[in-house]
């Protein structure tokens, strides 16, 4: 069965510092990978997704993620964070079959401090 | 476009009461989903619907029923609310009916439900 592990439940960081939010998945088949962001008191919205092709995926708001098949990871990065990036970030995976269900990580709370 | 809308935004129920959470999308999407979000447990799928007239159970369907009224609307009903159903409920939609595992899901703002 697939699973997703977000390795850090909370990540505090200062404004303008770089950040990496880590995500590992377990799957024996080809996968599709997603990062979603949830701002306080809002629904989730897609940051970026990997379906195929280049392993470096660029998303909205300056975020990017790298798919590493050998390490089964899909870490999210931003070179310089802003206060407005304070949010909950969720990694999710689905398999290459016809299963429309996403498997969600538990989330990483990013707190950007001035 | 309003995207995905949910009503109500907040609700307090007593144990045993019933209620229906409403969800509508104006993006002409085929698939719709109901999730619950609990601290430390992330998002869990309750039910989903790949198209009008079809619904399927997710991870945690017990205690819930759904209706896909038409392409736009997907409601979630709690017949007899329990304190364990205290949660934040999100509705989502995605465009495709097939290969929906590659699709972006679009989420509503959520309903915060407390069952006393």
pLDDT tens, B82-107? 999 999 999 999 987 765 578 899 99
Partner residue facing A95 (CB), from B44, B101, B104: B101
Buried b (16+ CB within 10 A) or exposed e, B83-97: eebbbbbbbbbbeee
Nearest CA in chain B to A91: B42
pLDDT of A96:
60
pLDDT, mean over chain B: 92
Amino acid B96: pLDDT: 78
User: Which residue, among A100, A105, A109, would best test binding to B if mutated, counting the most B CBs under 10 Å from its CB?
Assistant: A100
Return the ∠ at Cα A58 (arms to A57 and A63), rounded to 5°. Answer: 120
**Residue B2: per-residue pLDDT:** 80
Contact across the interface for B109 and A42, Cβ inside 8 Å = yes
**Cβ-count burial of A67 within 10 angstroms (0-12 exposed, 13-18 middle, 19+ buried)?**
buried
* Contact status of A50 with chain B (Cβ, < 8 Å): no
- pLDDT above 70: residue A17: yes
* pLDDT at residue B15 in the model: 97
* CA angle, B93 then B41 then A60, to 5°: 50
Whether B57 has a pLDDT exceeding 70, the answer reads yes
CB–CB contact B101 A105 (8 Å): no
Per-residue pLDDT tens over the stretch A43-88: 999 999 998 888 999 999 999 999 999 999 999 999 999 999 999 9
Q: Which of B42, B50, B107 sits opposite A45 (nearest CB)?
A: B107
Of the pLDDT bands very low, low, confident and very high (cuts 50, 70, 90), residue A98 is low
Q: What is the pLDDT, as a whole number, of residue B26?
A: 96
Per the CB < 8 A criterion, the answer to whether B92 and B35 are in contact is yes
Chain B residues in contact with A105 by the CB 8 A cut-off are 42
Least CA distance to A47: which residue of chain B? B104
Least confident piece of the model among A25-39, A87-101, B23-37 = A87-101
Quick check: B1 pLDDT over 90?
no
- Put simply, whether A103 touches B (Cβ < 8 Å) is no
The pLDDT of residue B40: 83
Cβ atoms of residues A40 and A83 within 8 Å: no
């Amino acid at each position: 069965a697939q699973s997703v592990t977000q390795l850090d439940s909370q990540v505090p960081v200062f404004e303008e510092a770089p950040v990496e939010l880590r995500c590992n998945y377990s799957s024996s088949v080809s996968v599709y990978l997603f990062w979603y962001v949830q701002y306080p008191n809002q629904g989730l919205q897609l940051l970026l997704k990997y379906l195929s092709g280049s392993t470096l995926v660029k998303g909205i708001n300056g975020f990017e993620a790298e798919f590493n098949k050998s390490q089964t990871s899909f870490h999210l990065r931003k070179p310089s964070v802003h206060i407005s990036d304070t949010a909950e970030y969720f990694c999710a995976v689905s398999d290459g079959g016809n299963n429309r269900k996403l498997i969600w990580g538990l989330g990483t709370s990013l707190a950007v401090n001035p | 476009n309003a995207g995905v809308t949910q009503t109500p935004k907040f609700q307090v129920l007593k144990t045993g009461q019933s209620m229906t959470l409403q969800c509508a999308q104006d993006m002409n999407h085929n698939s719709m989903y109901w999730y619950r979000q609990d601290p430390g447990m992330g998002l869990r799928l309750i039910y989903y619907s790949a198209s009008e007239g079809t619904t399927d159970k997710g991870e945690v369907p017990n205690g819930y029923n759904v209706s896909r009224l038409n392409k736009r609307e997907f409601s979630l009903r709690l017949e007899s609310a329990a304190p364990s159903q205290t949660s934040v409920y999100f509705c989502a939609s995605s465009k495709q009916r097939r290969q929906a595992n590659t699709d972006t899901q679009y989420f509503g703002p959520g309903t915060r439900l407390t069952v006393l």
